[in-house]
Amino acid sequence: MIFLKEPMMKSELLKIREPELLFGHQQMLEDPRDGLTLFGPLDEGSPHGIRWGIVGTQEGMRRFKGWLDKIQGPISNTPPAEARPPFPGFEAAFKIPWRTKPEIELVIPNKEIEESVYIDEKHQRVFQTVSVYAQRIIDATLKEDVHPDIWFVIIPDYIYRYCHPQSTVEPELRLKAEYYFSKKAAQNLIEQGSLFPKDREGAIPYEYEVNFHNQLKARLLDMHVPTQIIRESTIAYREFLNKFGQPSRPLDVMESAIAWNIGAAVFYKAGGRPWKIGKIRDGVCYIGLVFKKDERKQNPRAACCGAQMFLDSGDGLVFKGDIGPWYREGEGTFHLKRGAAKELIGKALKTYEEKKRKPPKELFIHGKVQFDNEEWSGFQDAVSSATNLIGVCIRPSNKIKLYRRGNNPVLRGISYVLDENTAFLWTKGFVPRLNTYPGREVPNPLLVNVCRGNAKIETVLSDIMGLTKLNYNSCQFADGLPVTLRFADAIGEILTAGPSKESSPLPFKYYI
């Protein structure tokens, strides 16, 4: 049954086939966990295995090493969950070792963290706490002969609690900050300088976002250091109990999922591709636009722009564009000027041609809103006649509900096509392979509109279905959003989390 909130045009209901993924030995399956278990990853990975460094407290390191020792073997679900295949063990799934001894181990005394994490002023608190971790990684990167493939940042749960924008420290724990500035006063000090160097130094934390995760990622971008930030309670939840003696984060039904997710992310960040879309057209390139208001600027329209590019090989790159007046306050949308649009897409195409030795045959630009004439002209300026340029607007919608008879929701992959350019696509829904719907509420579709250029709507829908399965930061059947837009907000947060000298394109792994 179909229920609409507004009249619709003549249309048809289609089932988009579930895309298969390519794994080792050129074998294809729908579920990444099935493919890794049976055939191993697409890339062989380093024969030396995962070379890793770790920074954290003594307790955090103990907990992480205990967890790492555990995932050397199989982990089943407790209780069994059909939607989450058991984890076979890291080497069994990824075909390379992940030894329990790190290349570099940097221990942080609890007291040093506590001297920062309880500071009453939030900018100072987060900046100083991030510095405790970031400076150790930076020093090791510059001074040590050994360079790990990936750094694990193991944080106590109280860092997660006190180092985000809405956090406050209880009065009995608060430590007095050395400086107190308004954001405007700090910005003036940074831009205009000061006769007192200590004032300039005290203003620096106000250049950064009040978020431990985003700020740490942003401060390490220039060093090209992949990190995996893990809360201690994620890997040792049984040690964190509430007042009733029960785990404060009851993650027992997700133990295998945690192993799958971290395992896939680590393999990818260490330089390997776990999988890619199995049947993808040669010469196709996808770009997702990234925007984030820059709160550090006094202009309310100031925003940072960026682009995520994904190739037919499965590789992902992030390009940072200019900060400019891209935000339209009345509409709540972002749009580029012609020159900025040309420059941003031009950067992506230059990198594509360096990798492929030729321009793409098809370039799909994904955005959350429709492109205006000025920015689309800039995109067109950047491409040659050899490339078919297509603009696609993709956004979640609640304008339509689709129901099946019985107890199960609509199948994932069902599409309600309105016309040759517009369709609703259910990327969430019942999955026959899992024999369940991995969700709770009635699934809503994506509204997909080919708003610029020419492409068959069925082709666009099939591509979007495939791109929902390229999230290497999470080893699950599929996401609700394509990877071109899935991380847009998170990448925008990191691009604006602090000043960075890095302007060259960086692999996607540095942002997730």
pLDDT above 90: residue 349 = yes
DSSP 9: -
Q: For residue 503, is pLDDT > 80?
A: no
Q: What is the mean pLDDT of the chain?
A: 89
Per-residue pLDDT tens digits for 209-266: 999 999 999 999 999 999 999 999 999 877 777 777 777 776 655 788 899 999 999 9
Q: What is the dihedral of CA 501, 504, 509, 512, to 10 degrees?
A: 50
| Per-residue confidence (pLDDT) for residue 1, from 0 to 100 | 44
Average pLDDT over residues 366-381: 95
CATH class as words, domain 2-20+274-497? alpha beta
Specify the DSSP element, H or E, that contains 69: helix 58-70
- The upper half-sphere exposure of residue 278, i.e. CA atoms within 13 Å in the direction of its Cβ, equals 18
Q: What is the pLDDT of residue 192?
A: 66
In this prediction, residue 182 carries a pLDDT of 72
Q: Whole-prediction pTM value?
A: 0.90
Q: Which two tokens stand for residue 76?
A: 């089943």
Instruction: With cut-offs at 50, 70 and 90, classify the pLDDT of residue 370.
Output: very high
Rounded Cα distance between 289 and 503, Å, is: 16
Question: Among the listed ranges 208-222, 314-328, 345-359, 495-509, which one has the minimum average pLDDT value?
Answer: 495-509
Strand partners for 507: 317
Instruction: Specify the higher pLDDT residue, 184 or 333.
Output: 333
Q: Is the pLDDT of residue 81 over 80?
A: no
Which residues are CB-neighbours of 417 under 8 A, at least 6 positions away? 11, 12, 13, 14, 423, 457, 458
**Rounded to the nearest 5°, which phi and psi values hold at 3?**
-120, 125
Write out pLDDT tens, residues 37-73: 999 999 988 888 999 999 999 999 999 999 999 999 9
**Cis previous bond, 79, omega within 30:** yes
| Residue 10 clears pLDDT 90, i.e. is over it | no
Of the candidate ranges 78-82, 246-250, 489-493, the one whose mean pLDDT is the lowest:
78-82
Confidence of residue 32 (pLDDT cuts 50, 70, 90): very high
The domain segmentation of the chain, as residue ranges, is 2-20+274-497, 44-269
pLDDT of residue 292: 87
How many other C-beta atoms can be found within 10 angstroms of the C-beta atom of residue 182?
9
Residue with the two structure tokens 């075909």: 95
d(CA 263, CA 89): 9
